[in-house]
Copies of this chain bind each other. A is one copy, B any other.
Amino acid sequence: MTTETEDRAPNAREVTEPSTEELLSLYERMLLVRRTEERLRDDSAAGRLPGAVHLYIGEEAVAVGVCAHLSDRDYATSTHRGHGHFLAKGGDLNAMMAEIWAKDEGICRGMGGSMHVADLSKGILGANGIVGAGLAIATGAAFGAKLDGDGKVSVCFFGDGAANQGVLMENLNVSTLWGLPLVFVCENNTFSEFTPSREVTAGSIADRARAFSMPTVEVDGNDVVAVWRAAGEAVDRARSGGGPSFLEAHTYRIQGHFEAEAFVLSGGRYREDGEIAAWREKDPIARLGAKLLSTGVAGDEVLADIEARVAGRVEDAVRFAEAGSPADPELAEALMFVRGEA
C-alpha cells in the first residue's frame, strides 16, 4: 500500500516541505546506509564477517526520513536490522564497522556485533536481536523523557513481524494512557523471515493503533519525503506534549532475511524474482535522486560528489575496522557488572 492516510493529527504543526539542504542531506544519508550495507553484503559473502548480517537495503527511506527530525538527545530503539537506524540517528560509521568486524574499537567493543549496534551518547539504545523487544524499551525511555519534561522524544522502529508480538498492544496502551512522547514506526517490509506478512498478520497493523485512538498514518516507506513529512508531524506532536503517534511505512526487503539465506534455504523459495524486480523500481534512493535532478535541486555533479564522499567514508570505515585491534576477550567477565558497585 502506498497511500498516505492521515487519520487524526491533533497538535500537528503546519506541514512543511524539506528544504534543499534537507533534501540533499536525506539523499546522502540514505546513500551512506546503502553503500555501507552493500559493502557488508559483499564482505559477508566473502566470509570476512564473523556473525550474521541482516540488511536494510531498500528500506533506507524509513530510518532516514524519521531520524532527520531527531537530535542526539532523543532516543531510538531498533531491530536486528539496525544499521540503517544507527547511521540515520547519527551513529559513528567507523565504530559500527569496527563492531561488525569484532574489534576493540567497535562501538560495543566487539561484544555486540551487527545485531546489537548501540550508541548511548547518541540516544541509540540499541539494535536488538529479540523481535519486539525494542517496544517496551522505547516506552521506558519515553517515560523518562516525559518525566524530564524537556521535549525529548523516543522513537521505536519495529517490523511487521514484531507487530504480532503482544508487547505492541501493551505499549500502545501504556503510552496512550501516560501520554508519552513516543513515535511507533512499523517497517512493513512484507516479510517475517521467509513468511509473507499476510499469512501471519490479520487485518491492518495500523488499525491496531487506531483501536487506541492513536494518531496513525500509513505512508509509502520508499518515499523519503513522505516519511519525513509524516514523521515530522508525529515527532512534533510528541515534543509538544501531544502523546504517542503511530506510523506504518510500507516498504520491501530487497535482500534476503540475512546474508546466509541462500545457503540456509538450499533452494527453498518464498518469493518471486519479479517481485524483487518490481520493488527495485521503487528504490527510495533512485527515486529521490531522480526527483532532485528533475526539480533542479541538484545536478549530476552534486550527486556524483555525494556518491564519491559516501564511497570514501565507507572505504575509510572498512579500513578503520580492518586495522582495529581484536576485541579484548577479558571484557566478557569484566563488563557484566559495573564494578565496585552494588
Contact = CB atoms under 8 A, between A and B. Distances in A.
A177 B202 contact: yes
Chain A: interface residue count, which band?
Answer: 20 to 34
Interface stretch (A1-9, A26-34, A206-214, A271-279): A206-214
A235 B201 CA distance: 24
Contacts of A169: 166, 168-169, 208
A173 interface: yes
A120 interface: no
A303 interface: no
A175 to B, nearest CB: 8
B213 A172 contact: no
A130 B203 CA distance: 28
A170 B306 CA distance: 45
A165 interface: yes
Contact of A166 (B167, B176, B199, B202): B167
A211 to B, nearest CB: 4
Nearest to A135: B166
Copies of this subunit: 2
A202 to B, nearest CB: 4
A200 interface: yes
A165 B201 CA distance: 19
Nearest to A178: B202
Nearest to A171: B166
B164 A176 contact: no
A135 B285 CA distance: 44
Given A165-B166, A166-B169, A203 B208 contact: no
Contact of A177 (B166, B167, B200, B210): B200
A169 to B, nearest CB: 4
Contacts of A211: 203-204, 207-208, 210-211
7 contacts: A164-B173, A165-B170, A169-B169, A172-B202, A173-B201, A203-B212, A204-B211
Given A166-B169, A203-B211, A208-B211, 14 more contacts: A164-B173, A165-B166, A165-B170, A169-B208, A172-B202, A173-B200, A173-B201, A177-B200, A177-B201, A202-B213, A204-B211, A207-B212, A208-B208, A210-B211
